[in-house]
Amino acid sequence: MLTFEHDYKTLPAPLWAACQPTPVDTPALIAFNRALAGTLGATDIPDDATLAQWFSGNTLPPGADPVALGYAGHQFGNFVPQLGDGRALLLGEVMDAHGQRRDIQLKGSGRTPFSRGGDGRSPLGPVLREYLVSEFMAAIGVPTTRALAAVASGEQIRRQLPEPGAVFTRVASSHVRVGTFQFAAAGGNEETLKALADYVIQRHYPEAAQAEDPYLALLDAVVARQAALIARWMSLGFIHGVMNTDNTSVAGETIDYGPCAFMEQFDPRKVFSSIDQGGRYAFENQPATAQWNLARFAETLLPLMNAEGDELIAQATDAIRRFSDVFAIEQCRLHADKLGLAAQSEQAHDLMQGLEIQMHQGGMDMTATFDALTQYAASPTNERYAALLALTAHPEELATWLKAWHVVAVAGRENERLDAMRRANPIIIPRNHRVQEAITAAYDGDFAPFNTLLEVVTHPYDDSTQARRLAAPATSSEQVLRTFCGT
């Protein structure tokens, strides 16, 4: 069905280990992403029973040759020299419709040489969460890994309580993480490190190969992609939850959706993950965290770079500092889009800061606020004005902000800017309580809420009664305050 290649296996062996999946009891297909499969060149898609066999790892799709990848990582600031795919297997790569090499990976397919104490399995809940959220991200154009398949294993796995197991099939530009470079660097073999860096340049940043110092160019390019990515997250209220260096893709995609969640009421200090007790990965800390992770990446590249001594350190430091510049430019562009301002508007920053204060102090739901503002920009009726004011506990202050905004907003007059505003402000995000509702129903064997939510969040600009119902913020009794990574 897919034409597998095995380019990663040309890298030195410590970076991967051959490993077979462990079969599951009674695999049953939950979801298969036919549209994505099409872009991966899939032909002759078999029946659901065969897909369930293949994407649980019970029998492998023709041409697959699974390997577990080695990586290290800073987890909540502590360096762990060996993590690796403890419950995931790379089946191989396929070339997509754009000629880009994409990894196909099973997650939850059993123990590997990197499993340490773990069972190599994944509970159903995190599989459904990753499916929903990653496909939403793809639908709004945020760089992300994709969901190809979800298969129920028919087995119970042991967590705090027994839970149904599942296997997730993920598609990524690659699974090379900052932690992969840390793993190669910690191994102490410079040839392995150089092979990895050259591989990443060739696969993701071919233009860097032409630079005077390809490894400095690689650092620059990865910094730029991460900065653009985090700016997108911030513009949507996305909180990743586990921004460890092993969960930071050098290709600049959102990866590892564990305890992620979207913020509802705007709060810069917001944290959902049960394991992030110090708030290290709180919403407002995400840009600085990404920059910190990139500094760890830079450290691994130092031995490969041309310069030496103080000059080397100065170059790497400058590259890391450029994160802030790229981030600021991206953020300014996104703010102008979200607020319906002229493209390069100098007011974007101040107006957004003002609105963030309103959202925070007035307890406003972030997605609902930007949706209502977009509606109002498109057609400034009294009704829509009232709908905006109804979102805040301090309507008079919001009215003052709206006056200032009204003077500079152009989306009401310029169709192209209104389109940009609409694209920046989806009607729906995968709200925590809706994701949880879909998971709870699935645990009772009912996948209808999952399928409905998936349909709606993958069309995040389509207005319908169904979309409006699922887009509504949680009431205080519906709110889900904590998320779990399910490892």
What is the binding site for Mg ion (CB under 5 A)?
247, 256
Cβ closer to ligand AMP: 258 or 449? 258
- Please check if 99 is assigned to a binding site: no
Residue 73 near residue 245 (C-beta atoms within 8 A): yes
Q: Which residues contact 122 (CB under 8 A, 6 or more apart)?
A: 87, 107, 108, 157, 165, 166, 167, 168, 486
Contact range with ligand AMP by CB under 6 A, out of 84-92, 305-313, 394-402, 438-446:
84-92
Binding residues for ligand AMP restricted to 22-51, rule: CB under 6 A: none
Q: What does the alpha-carbon distance between residue 336 and residue 321 come to, in Å, rounded to a whole number?
A: 24
- Please check if 419 is assigned to a binding site: no
Instruction: Return the closest-CA partner of residue 402 out of 358, 365, 456, 451.
Output: 358
Cβ closer to Mg ion: 242 or 456? 242
Cβ closer to Mg ion: 361 or 487? 487
Kindly report the backbone phi and psi dihedral angles of residue 291, in degrees, each rounded to the nearest multiple of 5, phi listed first.
Answer: -65, -40
**Count, residues in the chain:** 487
How many residues bind ligand AMP, per CB under 6 A? Answer: 16
Contact flags string 194-233 toward ligand AMP, x per CB under 6 A: ----------------------------------------
Could you tell me the smallest distance in angstroms from the CB atom of residue 486 to ligand AMP? 8
Does 86 bind ligand AMP (CB under 6 A)? Our answer is: yes
Q: What is the DSSP letter of 124?
A: H
| DSSP string of 464-487, one letter each residue | -HHHHHHHSPPPTTT----B----
Could you tell me the smallest distance in angstroms from the CB atom of residue 258 to Mg ion? 7
Binding residues for ligand AMP restricted to 237-266, rule: CB under 6 A: 242, 247, 256, 258
- Please check if 310 is assigned to a binding site: no
- Please check if 107 is assigned to a binding site: yes
Contact range with ligand AMP by CB under 6 A, out of 52-60, 81-89, 162-170, 427-435:
81-89
| The binder of ligand AMP chosen from 87, 175, 177, 417 (CB under 6 A) | 87
Cβ closer to Mg ion: 208 or 250? 250
Q: How many CA atoms, within 13 angstroms, populate the side-chain half-sphere of residue 345? A: 25
- Please check if 103 is assigned to a binding site: no
Could you tell me the smallest distance in angstroms from the CB atom of residue 123 to ligand AMP? 9
Strands (E), 194-268: 238-239, 261-262
Q: Cα angle at 445 between 441 and 446, to 5 degrees?
A: 50
Strand partners, 147: 170
Could you tell me the smallest distance in angstroms from the CB atom of residue 129 to ligand AMP? 12
Buried b (16+ CB within 10 A) or exposed e, 106-123: bbbbbbbebbeeebbbbb
- Please check if 34 is assigned to a binding site: no
Residue with the closest Cβ to Mg ion? 256
303 binds, among Mg ion, ligand AMP, none (CB under 5 to 8 A by kind): none
Q: What does the alpha-carbon distance between residue 429 and residue 135 come to, in Å, rounded to a whole number?
A: 11
Q: Which of 85, 103, 220, 246 is catalytic?
A: 246
- Please check if 247 is assigned to a binding site: yes
Binding residues for ligand AMP restricted to 302-361, rule: CB under 6 A: none
Cβ closer to ligand AMP: 258 or 340? 258
Q: What does the alpha-carbon distance between residue 323 and residue 252 come to, in Å, rounded to a whole number?
A: 13
Residue 413 near residue 436 (C-beta atoms within 8 A): no
Could you tell me the smallest distance in angstroms from the CB atom of residue 327 to Mg ion? 23
- Please check if 120 is assigned to a binding site: yes
- Please check if 86 is assigned to a binding site: yes
Binding residues for ligand AMP restricted to 97-136, rule: CB under 6 A: 115, 118-121
130 binds, among Mg ion, ligand AMP, none (CB under 5 to 8 A by kind): none
* Tokens, residue 365: 């739901």
Q: What is the DSSP letter of 249?
A: B
Q: Cα angle at 77 between 267 and 182, to 5 degrees?
A: 125
Q: Which residues contact 247 (CB under 8 A, 6 or more apart)?
A: 73, 177, 179, 240, 255, 256, 258
Verify whether residue 246 is a known catalytic residue. Answer: yes
- Please tell me whether residue 211 adopts helix, strand or coil conformation: coil
Instruction: Return the closest-CA partner of residue 235 out of 121, 393, 370, 122.
Output: 370
Residue 435 near residue 443 (C-beta atoms within 8 A): no
Instruction: Point out the annotated binding site for Mg(2+).
Output: 247, 256
| Active site (catalytic) residues | 246
Instruction: Point out the annotated binding site.
Output: 84, 86-87, 107, 119-120, 170, 177, 247, 256
Positions touching ligand AMP (CB under 6 A) are 83-87, 115, 118-121, 242, 247, 256, 258, 485, 487
Instruction: Point out the annotated binding site for ATP.
Output: 84, 86-87, 107, 119-120, 170, 177, 256
